[in-house]
Structure 1
């Protein structure tokens, strides 16, 4: 393992000619063999959504390919890199009306101590989890919702009360981690929408009591957790296909056409030649780890050289390096270099891709990620015009427009100062006006991002905006928010006059502070 991890400078990466993204994206639409569950996975996001969604790769409603152009002899023309662009993925799945929600949605007043205790414990676990990324926290929140709903079901006497129990828990879980709330909230909103839709379908078949509805919700939550694992595999495949299409070198141009006394023939075109892909990344995103390890396994003729920023103050970059090298199936084809965050300018010169995860994506395409992401993107755009800045993320990270500005997480000063010399730290702690920057996340504007790789394919800004509007509609409908942003849930307020105000109470989160800086 040691031989794969180095701090020395690698050789200069050759420039890459990025082909049009149309080719990479088009390859995603080719029907895969022995993939019977793919359509089911796509329909989890498409067929059950109430708003227009992106087209799955199996869709039969694609626009026919344009006729091929006549070959042109370009042997005398010097090739130049093609400007990267996005392929618009049109919607082919008709929208569905939102499911009918119950009217008596208020929390029970009595016997909910266990429910409240379980919810508070779940929120604290999310707050104290500094190792997991946004996607992992969303998965954990889904598991918490299933557990909390089971406890609350024992005191729910109607569908409305059980629905209120689930919705209230989802709200509090979504607020536990402000910087990662987009992924958590989107995941839980889509889950609640599917639960309501399934309940509607079941009640149409005949009368269902509360116990039946609880059983239905339990089974559906487990089904969704399984589907999310399948979607992660789809994202891995999307990235691997794009790498193969864009990082396989073209054969020499101007292959001669030979004619003789017989039938004319062409010299066989030599196969494309793979190459080493140099990637710059940071932090310890589970999504990035997954796509890199999958690409290593799926592309056996490619070599990978990873440059990982240390990612202070917790040095998650070192954790990522350890995870990848330990799990790599072929350690001979992967090399890892860890560099300090301050060396990002030097590191950006010799790479082909800046690979960023995302904790939140705005409707405008801006990306919130670990501090250091903006510096990496800026350095690459200034120093290495042939490199691409790529965001790898599932669509749950796309936030509704009004949810884009979340409360910023500010962490204690000792997380940064613990690396200082003891005497220096002690002296500085006595100085009243010293400020220590405690934010871990920052925004990367969309203009510095070349593409978004998701489980639905390669997205452009318009696709991101459509997904954001869909989440906004679900947020307003399921959480019963007023469009002017004032007030809380309509049905919870109505219920509070009957059974108490538990439904409207917000769980306080003293761990997080909105200040951008922490003062000793």
Structure 2
């Protein structure tokens, strides 16, 4: 009690709660650890691996990995991140604490996968023992003996506790599909995310109260956003927010009717709405293509009158870029000199060039000359930039500031073109082609997840037969490691290009300014907060 007679304000703490899962024979089990008598709070209670987030932790996930290693000895070699959960807060007045919980789920790698299995778990002084539990049996009760809100923390990563077996499997399979898709662009991934939401809703139990059902739908959308491919999260979030807003409107109209008696009719209307939304997304790509063609005709009018080919440099495989360039070829008499960086390690640029070549071969065009397509190595971006009129990139994410996250290699291509063409006295235009759904809510781009892919995507090219014996030998040495040498591989998928390097953003609404992007980002931020903050 403070001097005024009022209860003292609880001490606020942000903590991570990390649940470790194993899946022997496909059966999920979660590890719970009994806290020892040496800890300050909740002695002898069952808990996940938990601990405070400190100022030295870059993110809650960083704190989770640190606490796991400190309390179990496990590292990234023995665990993989399975899911993250929506954070939440509660107050425990019995100990004067307000906790903000950041839940995570990790999967224990088996020995066959190169891990150590449960034999690798070595508890420290903070726990007196531990065991495996059926996650469905974990409840918040005095009898079960867990820390406060244990089951609530668990259900935020283990949605199987809230959804029926069919719906939870549809969601889990959908998340795995998103996580393992390293070929599709953000636009395509967003379409898949929308399909997953529709499929989950189609299989959900409709006997629950409306408010409870609506919470589960929003949690489903949150998981698709955060636990699919978060690096593609801007486009995924945008389509999901639009879908939820539409669902909300349908519920407002139908649930409020005097003759409303169950959710079946409402669900049918919702599924029809989501199907229409999926089908209408094709229209936005065509609108971007049309806006791009208008921009080219205007911005390069004098260049086009000279009858010289228009030179464009691009990279990676973007469905928006592919469609826009093909539309430009079909709808104009422009002679196009297209230069494409191969985009290692997955060679998406090669795929883009091949797709465009195939389309051009089977299309009737009005172009004065056949389209020229030249493939360049990524390392020759400066050479590829010589004499180009424009660099065209897509976007996997556009920050509120206008910074663009795109395939790694985008920034060197832009910088090369800026330098080479400025020196020649004819600076190239830097053009971003993107649907508005790629714009992210407000936030620091530096906080965006850095996605690193399998190092084998890099190293497999070193071992192929046409390489020299020295290169193949080096590949073996690097993959096996060497004494007294720490060898690591970085296969980062995306990088940021600052807005200061970009001349124009072209969306389905035409040319956008930085102010347009900021306004759209603010609207998304408001919708995200309205639909997800209370979960």
TM-score over 0.5 for the pair: yes
- Matched position secondary structure for 2:183: coil
Offset of residue 112 of structure 1 = 1.0
CA shift, 1:111, in A, is 6.6
> Which residue is 1:472 aligned to?
525
**Partner Cα distance (2:187, 2:259) in 1:** 37
- Tell me the CA shift for residue 275 of structure 1: 4.3
Return the offset for 1:198.
2.6
Equivalent in the alignment of 1:364: 401
Q: CA RMSD in A?
A: 2.1
Q: Does 1:128 align with 2:180?
A: yes
Are residues 1:151 and 2:203 paired? yes
TM-score normalised per structure 1: 0.65
Gaps of 5+ in 1: 1-105, 252-271, 482-488, 490-520
State how far apart, in whole Å, the 1-side matches of 2:207 and 2:186 are. 31
- Once the two structures are superposed, what CA deviation does each residue of 1:452-497 show, in whole Å capped at 9, x if it has no partner? 000011000011000110110011011125xxxxxxx1xxxxxxxx
Matched, 1:456 2:509: yes
SS at match of 1:438: coil
Partner of 1:413: 455
The answer to whether the aligner puts 1:168 opposite 2:219 as a matched pair is: yes
Task: Name the structure 2 match of 1:434.
Answer: 487
Output the CA distance in 2 between the equivalents of 1:281 and 1:395. 20
1:247 to 297, 300, 313: 300
Per-residue CA deviations over 1:423-459 (Å, capped at 9, x if unaligned) read 1111122224112112011000000000100001100
Aligned counterpart in structure 2 of residue 307 of structure 1, from 339, 343, 353: 339
* Pairwise CA distance, 1:348: 1.1
Partner of 2:500: 447
Further displaced range: 331-340 or 438-447: 331-340
Map of 1:323 onto structure 2 = 355
1:219 has 2:256 as partner? no
Q: Note closer, same or farther for the CA distance 1:436–1:111 as it changes in structure 2 (3 Å cut).
A: closer
Structure 1 pair 198–274 and aligned structure 2 pair: CA distance change class (3 A): farther
C-alpha displacement at 1:411, in angstroms? Answer: 1.4
Q: Which residue of structure 1 aligns with residue 438 of structure 2?
A: 397
List gaps (5 residues or longer) in structure 2: 1-155, 463-470
**Residue in structure 2 matching 1:425, options 447, 455, 475:** 475
Distance 1:206 1:335, change over 3 A: farther
1:43-122 paired onto structure 2 within 5 Å: 112-122=164-174
SS at match of 1:419: helix
CA shift digits 1:9-62 (9 cap, x unpaired):
xxxxxxxxxxxxxxxxxxxxxxxxxxxxxxxxxxxxxxxxxxxxxxxxxxxxxx
Q: Deviations over 1:216-246 (max 9, x none)?
A: 1111101111221111111111111111122
Taking the aligned partners of 2:457 and 2:346, their CA distance within structure 1 comes to 7
Match of 2:322 in 1: 289
Q: Structure 1 residues 274, 167: closer, same or farther in 2, change over 3 A?
A: farther
2:230 corresponds, among 164, 178, 182, to 178
Distance 1:111 1:413, change over 3 A: closer
Structure with bigger RCO (C-alpha 8 Å, 6+ apart)? 1
Q: What is the 5 A alignment of 1:479-494? A: 479-480=532-533, 489=535
CA contact (8 A) 1:158 1:210 kept: no
Distance in 1, matches of 2:162 and 2:301, equals 65
> 1:352 offset after TM fit, Å?
0.6
Which 10-residue stretch deviates more, 134-143 or 107-116? 107-116
Higher strand share: 2
Alpha-carbon distance in 2 for matches of 1:413, 1:110: 36
3-state DSSP of counterpart to 1:145:
helix
| Alpha-carbon distance between aligned partners in 1 of 2:394 and 2:247, rounded to the nearest angstrom | 29
Q: 1:277 aligns with which of 307, 310, 329?
A: 310
Q: Is the contact made by 1:108 and 1:155 (CA closer than 8 Å) also made in structure 2?
A: no
Tell me the equivalent position of 1:298: 331
Count of matched residue positions in the alignment of Structure 1 and Structure 2:
355
Take 1:232 and 1:408, find their aligned partners in 2: how far apart are those partners? 27
1:351 alignment partner, one of 388, 391, 405? 388
State the distance in 1 between where 2:160 and 2:259 align: 22
SS at match of 1:122: helix
Change over 3 Å in CA distance of 1:158–1:275 after alignment to 2: farther
CA distance in 2, matches of 1:128, 1:203: 38
- For 1:292 and 1:456, the matched residues in 2 are separated by 18
Contact 1:149/1:165 (8 A) holds in 2: no
Contact 1:108 1:156 in 2 (8 A): no
The Cα shift of 1:250 comes to: 7.7
Q: Could you give the per-residue CA deviations for residues 164-184 of structure 1, whole angstroms, max 9, x where no partner exists?
A: 232122111112112111110
Query: Hey, what's the Cα distance between the residues in 2 that align with 1:110 and 1:229?
Result: 34
Where does residue 81 of structure 2 map in the other structure?
none
Structure 1 residues 117 and 379: alpha-carbon distance in aligned structure 2, compared to 1, 3 A threshold: same
Report deviation, 1:162.
2.7
Per-residue CA deviation, residues 290-341 of structure 1 (Å, 9 max, x unaligned), is: 1001111111x11111110011111111111111111122485311100001
The answer to whether the 8 Å contact 1:366/1:446 transfers is: yes
Q: Distance in 1 between matches of 2:509 and 2:212?
A: 35
Report how far residue 422 of structure 1 moved.
Answer: 2.9
- Please name the residue that 1:341 is paired with: 378
